Amino acid sequence: MAKTTTREYTTVREVAGPLMVVEGVEDVAYGEIVDVLIPDGGTKRGQVLESRKGVAVVQVFEGTSGIDTRSTKVRFTGDIMRMPVSMDMMGRIFDGLGRPIDGGPDIIAEEYLDIAGASINPTARAFPNEFIQTGVSTIDGNNTLVRGQKLPIMSGAGLPHNDLAAQIARQAKVRGTEEPFSVVFAAMGITHEEASFFMRDFERTGALERIVAFINLADDPAIERIITPRMALTAAEYLAYTCDMHILVVLTDMTNYCEALREISAAREEVPGRRGYPGYMYTDLATLYERAGRVRGAKGSITQVPILSMPDDDITHPIPDLTGYITEGQFVLSREMHRRGIYPPVDILPSLSRLMNEGIGSERTREDHSGVSNQLYAGYAEGRDMRDLVAVVGEEALSKRDQLYLKFADRFEKEYVTQGRDEDRTIEQTLDLGWELLTDLPEGELKRIDEKYIKKYHPKYRTG
């Protein structure tokens, strides 16, 4: 955008919800940032959503309360939304619009970056394939995370998604390099309690200086949540691609982000897509999630673990649905397992890591990984079917084979899925544990594992 000087107007014509219409304006750019000076002396930030000859529609991030149509001043800055970045962001805490709230000084900018980010040319991407060991068996063994992947936790209100996210952030490492991840943490509309859980956890493990946090709490302005993840991802990109760091981005809770999106869309009286969410929500979410990845020739990387709470635990709700269509898999938490006291209550059946295949195997984890994982899946799925069946026909009506699977599913949940909040299993421990469970099934049932790996890793042959 050609730099124009700042212009000021006092011609607010209309204020509705998060939107404000300013008249008599000139040369207003689409996407331009405005400062709104309200009569009581405060300043708010906004952005042009529609620019028409003489008229601009502005969304105000901090809400429109206090704005009037008489004396409110609107200053068009002549620039798009940018944020100051530098290495000094590390260890700092910002509000949802990127202003320090930890009492520390402002960031002295090395660069001012456009927070919208640009799309990576697909030919410039490097395919993510470096195994991240999170120490959690259901993840490492069955839904492997790799560096540069975007893999959300789909959860529900009251489930321990924060514990799991914090555990991942704490334990994640790329084997062989031992370099820890730095974490960019973006909170959108979560409670004070949840936010301090994360901060305490980061502090407890001495990770605070490896964290950049952007915090918009439940009682902070809702529309600001449109900006918060973009701030966080811009910081992440700078740290990854300019400072060569490996960044894990935790975005929570994406559901609140989507609600803010819906609010703006409703205020604009747009034709809604499903359940009142805007038709462009898929594209909008993609502009966030697709900022994960690796770039050819760059040393750093961005791995994303967004958290979203599924309204009514419904995975077909537009928020988890559209997310699942963009991310490279998902970890799904189960309320039913949580009720039975299983931690982490990851239901592996609907969970998926699409980039797993490239990240595992002899060079990255172990040669039998894929087979063991597939076999555990098949066995557990079969056992779960039996559980449903038993409820109807009783255990006696099951064949011997079916009973084996029923037991297998129980053991799988108790010994493999279940682990401590601080239990950090190596991938070998996870796979060996898997083998241990598989010994309960006849060897002929292990169709998903290559014979040569059965001979090599099956406990029966290993001890004998």
Q: Judged by CB, which is closer to ligand ATP: 157, or 349?
A: 349
Q: Which residue has the tokens 């059965």?
A: 454
Q: Judged by CB, which is closer to another protein: 192, or 296?
A: 296
Q: What radius of gyration do the chain's Cα atoms show?
A: 25
User: Can you give the length of the chain in residues?
Assistant: 464
Question: Which of 199, 217, 267, 286 touches another protein by CB under 8 A?
Answer: 286
Q: Judged by CB, which is closer to ligand ATP: 83, or 352?
A: 352
Question: Which of 35, 66, 84, 126 touches another protein by CB under 8 A?
Answer: 126
In the region spanning residues 134 to 153, those forming contacts with another protein, defined by CB under 8 A, are 148
Cα of first residue to Cα of last residue in the chain, in angstroms, is: 73
Q: How far is CA 228 from the centre of its chain?
A: 13
Say how far apart CA 240 and CA 113 lie, in whole Å. Answer: 14
Say how far apart CA 108 and CA 407 lie, in whole Å. Answer: 60
Residues 6+ apart with CB under 8 A from 281: 258, 261, 273, 318, 322
Say how far apart CA 378 and CA 212 lie, in whole Å. Answer: 41
Least distance from ligand ATP to the Cβ atom of residue 354, Å: 3
CB atoms within 10 A of CB 385: 14
217: which 2 tokens?
């709490």
In the region spanning residues 389 to 418, those forming contacts with another protein, defined by CB under 8 A, are 389, 392-394, 397-399, 401-402
70 binds, among ligand ATP, another protein, none (CB under 5 to 8 A by kind): none
In the region spanning residues 306 to 335, those forming contacts with another protein, defined by CB under 8 A, are 316-318, 321-322, 324-326, 328-330
**Residue 127 binds to ligand ATP (criterion: CB under 6 A):** no
The stretch among 20-28, 159-167, 201-209, 429-437 that binds another protein (CB under 8 A) is 20-28
Question: Which of 116, 199, 218, 266 touches another protein by CB under 8 A?
Answer: 116
Least distance from another protein to the Cβ atom of residue 450, Å: 8
3-state secondary structure of 106: coil
The helix-helix angle for 400-411 and 369-393 (nearest 10°) equals 110
447 binds, among ligand ATP, another protein, none (CB under 5 to 8 A by kind): another protein
Contact track, ligand ATP, 337-376, x by CB under 6 A: ---------------x-x----------------------
Amino acid residing at 234: T
| Interacting residues toward ligand ATP by CB under 6 A | 324-325, 352, 354
